[in-house]
Amino acid sequence: MPGPRVAVAALLALLVPAAASSPGAAGCQVPPGDRFDCGPERLLSRAGCEARGCCYAPAGTETGPGPPWCFFPRGYRSYRAENLTATTSGFTAGLRRVAASFLPGDVGCLRLDVAMETPARLRFTLRDPARQRYEVPLATPRASGRAASTLYGVQVNQDPFGLVVYRQRNGQVLLNTTVAPLFFADQFLQISTSLPSHFISGLGEHLTPLVLDTAWTRVTLWNRDMAPAPQANLYGSHPFYLGMEDSGSAHGVFLLNSNAMDVLLQPSPALTWRTTGGILDFYVFLGPDPKSVVRQYLDVVGFPFMPPYWGLGFHLCRWGYSSTDITRQVVVNMTAARFPLDVQWNDLDYMDAKRDFTFNKKSFKDYPEMVRDFHRRGLRYIMIVDPGISSSGPPGTYKPYDEGLKRGVFIRNATGQPLIGKVWPGPTAFPDFTNPETHEWWHDMVKDFHDQVPFDGMWIDMNEPSNFVEGSQDGCPNNSLEQPPYVPGVFGGRLQAGTICASSQQYLSSHYNLHSLYGLTEAIASHDALLRVRGKRPFVISRSTFAGHGRYAGHWTGDVGSDWEQLYYSVPEVLLFNLFGVPLVGADICGFMGDTSEELCVRWTQLGAFYPFMRNHNDHGARPQEPYAFSPAAQAAMRNALRLRYSLLPFLYTLFHRAHSAGETVARPLFLEFPKDPNTWAVDRQLMWGGGLLITPVLEAGKTKVSGYFPAGTWYSLAGDSTIHSKGQWILLQAPLDTINVHVRAGHILPLQEPAFSTAESRKKGMALVVALTPDGFARGDLFWDDGESWQTFEKGDYTEILFLATHDAVLSQLLRASAHLDGVLLEAVTVLGITSPPRQVLANGALVGDFSYRSDTQASAHPAMGRGQRQGGAAGQQLGRDPGLSQGAGGVWPQRWHSTRFVGTKERKGLPSMGWVAALGLEQD
């Protein structure tokens, strides 16, 4: 903590003196793109506008996107900053309103707290010092003091109040809230800021490209059961954005607020946050690169959970598998058609009268035995669970409702009784997952059902929460929570549209404040219940989400239509949720609503093989879309895509470990890896896995070629049939219906595994490495491996981690941590891409390898394993010399012949240096 004199000097430097007197007529000379709306809650006439002290200048349409007709003059006064004082973490100031507001419930005095929490993270809050207001009950890190040095600087404008946050290095302004007045009323809070560029991404969940449009776009956050459509608030709320700057640096901003809100973007460029309650609680992340921004955001909301290995396999579901016989037959058909399958699902069909924690004793009479049969096959099983609990049965006939009533777990209406809405089973009550007792009740219900049906994970749907009547069966009261002075642009026009009454009461606060947290709180309860009941890593997939959701569950993108537009939009959706810290995400493959087509389903399966969460799910009454439902040619293409995914699972699992342990993304947009290349910033028809794999899917009908952007560098086709040396350019790729283009970035080593029909089998198969050399002969990669399902293996140290390094004509492996989990798994092949001349000889651990191949057209060298006499640790080669093709399995990745080389397990590592190189493959070139 600096001494008093230093602190005072620093505060004086922070403070920008009050502006001169009122701007007068000159203050209305504001370019259209810089105008901020002075009539947010209603249209104003000229007289009404000028009565607020604002400027009136009609331009374009009054109600459509475009500049507001009534706008604030420059220097419009609202609050004045006073009594700037140093604190242990930063500084504080009082704000006093100096001009009357036109809003009801205006708060005249505010407290500003600025905390310099870390060198790259700044937090500032605006609160009412006289009254405790609702704050989001999300546990966030607490800084113990002020960061000694920071990437940011802060200035406070005194009158009108505003904050300016800038980069110390180059003076780039990241936030400037002086551009428009601050408003802080009981149910209307607004703050605006300039943006350093037009590139802004985030603010989910919406059907949107990766880059948001700053041309007068309104983004509404209020969780809603809404089939994905443009300009509509969808299932989740993530008030976080990432912005790129012209220099290639990146920053992020997170508003920790769960109330209904609008975020308005305008061309200047600028952004306005407009929320209906709570406080203003902002985090600013300085990066300076976009990967760091995401990690800094996840430092606040939580790193993602580690999914079980089986959760990365292929999942299959349909609303309409109406009996155990039909569900069993689906699994039989998948096996007969030789498709991988890890998890079979059921939709509502299994329930008795669509009630949670029941099953139909006729059509699903052998339901528990079916699930046990799946387990014997090495499969897992997941079923849907909705939050709405049927309330219409006679007392004593339905335990979840009877127990819930007794234990007081349901959301209450204005009279203190359980609020009754209507969902699939008819009249329903809604559990209040902010109540600790509800978590215990939920656990008990999950345990009771699991004792009957040993399911492996939970699919939690309808948890916005969705309601088929508006508010409740009895309507909603007439009060300010139901009819606030400002209603954001929610679909339906009212907060209670499609959900429950905003004024209903929960344990922590009103639903008005907590609504968008409903899915998150249910996900936490479900995650915790599964952990307690099964004792293994939980697997939860949820429709509704909020910031921090990825700590507990994954997400699927809801009721997408079976059309090409939705296929495209699934790419930015998956990328955005990775930025939000929810890497386990995917869309319903082939689409959910409506009939798919064979071509669409093939292309969607190819793309879906690269969703972190891969599930084919279909609506009842629609055309069948299981992989086996199509022509032999289509089946072959889908089978190849699935085998390719299963081949890459060790790499994917390692990426999830990096997400869980270090706050990284799994699927990521190109700009995350190449922020200095502005051409990558808006690319959202391609995606990367980690930093090493680039996927270029076909997203349009009838296309057999696809254009993809390749940042500067060398890119090798994973199929082994081409190499691209890019200067940073768009390249047209051949993409027949049986092909998805996948390229390995030079400098990366990917661990692969021979595919099988389930992860239970594939985890026992041989492994291989694909080594993609840079021009100077370097590459690196790693492998994380554990038992695939135990809780907190990383935290407990019960895992194996191996670093792979290619340098100086050798491929080396270093055992960073050993466990028994890799015992019996063989490293059987290595393919090295980018060897410029044929190797004269190949050595594995010093022994000559006679059987290796080299392709001069792609500069690929493939090496079979040394069979015996290898030093502990095992290194090997893989025979990949044949002309690869999809007919050979996973895109030509796997050889026809297998060898026996072993990874080191705990029993074999005696005498090995703890950090020594334990395997080596050497290449000698002429």
Residue 169 amino acid letter: R
Low-confidence ranges of the chain (pLDDT < 70): 1-25, 61-63, 864-920, 923-926
Token pair for residue 775? Answer: 């021009």
pLDDT of residue 839: 86
- What confidence tens digit (pLDDT) does each residue in 352-380 have? 999 999 999 999 999 999 999 999 999 99
Asked if 659 contacts 291 with a C-beta cutoff of 8 angstroms, the reply is no
| Tally of CA atoms within 13 A in the half-sphere of 76 that contains its CB | 24
Residue 140 amino acid letter: T
pLDDT of residue 876: 33
Question: Which of the residues 225, 245, 461, 786 is marked catalytic?
Answer: 461
Q: What are phi and psi of 102, to 5 degrees?
A: -95, 15
Counts of helices then strands in the chain (DSSP H, E):
16, 51
pLDDT of residue 911: 25
Three-class SS of residue 274?
Answer: strand
Render 289-346 in DSSP notation, one character per residue.
SHHHHHHHHHHHH-PPP---GGGGSEEE--TT--SHHHHHHHHHHHHHTT----EEEE
If you compute the radius of gyration of the chain from its CA atoms, what whole number of angstroms results? 29
Q: How far apart are CA 409 and CA 398, in angstroms?
A: 15
Asked if 609 contacts 320 with a C-beta cutoff of 8 angstroms, the reply is no
pLDDT of residue 19: 46
Question: Which of the residues 245, 342, 349, 464 is marked catalytic?
Answer: 464
Nearest CA to 491 out of 235, 690, 701, 142 is that of 235
pLDDT of residue 859: 80
pLDDT of residue 16: 67
User: Does residue 464 carry a catalytic annotation?
Assistant: yes
Checking phi first, is residue 475 left (phi over 0); if not, alpha (psi -120 to 50) or beta? left
Nearest CA to 787 out of 611, 536, 554 is that of 536
Q: What is the mean pLDDT of the chain?
A: 91
pLDDT of residue 172: 98
Asked if 311 contacts 343 with a C-beta cutoff of 8 angstroms, the reply is yes
- What confidence tens digit (pLDDT) does each residue in 622-639 have? 999 999 999 999 999 999
pLDDT of residue 874: 29
Q: What b-and-e string marks burial along 567-604, b requiring 16 or more CB atoms within 10 Å of the CB?
A: bbbbbbbbbbbbbbbbbbbbbbbbbbbebbbbbbbbbb
pLDDT of residue 919: 52
Q: How far apart are CA 316 and CA 726, in angstroms?
A: 39
Predicted TM-score (pTM) of the model is 0.94
Q: How far is CA 507 from CA 93, 411, 504, 548, 573, in A?
A: 33, 8, 10, 20, 33
Pairing of strands 853-855, 860-864: antiparallel
User: Does residue 461 carry a catalytic annotation?
Assistant: yes
Q: How far apart are CA 713 and CA 202, in angstroms?
A: 28
Q: How far apart are CA 486 and CA 491, in angstroms?
A: 14
- Write out the H or E segment, with its range, that includes residue 688: strand 687-689
pLDDT of residue 864: 59
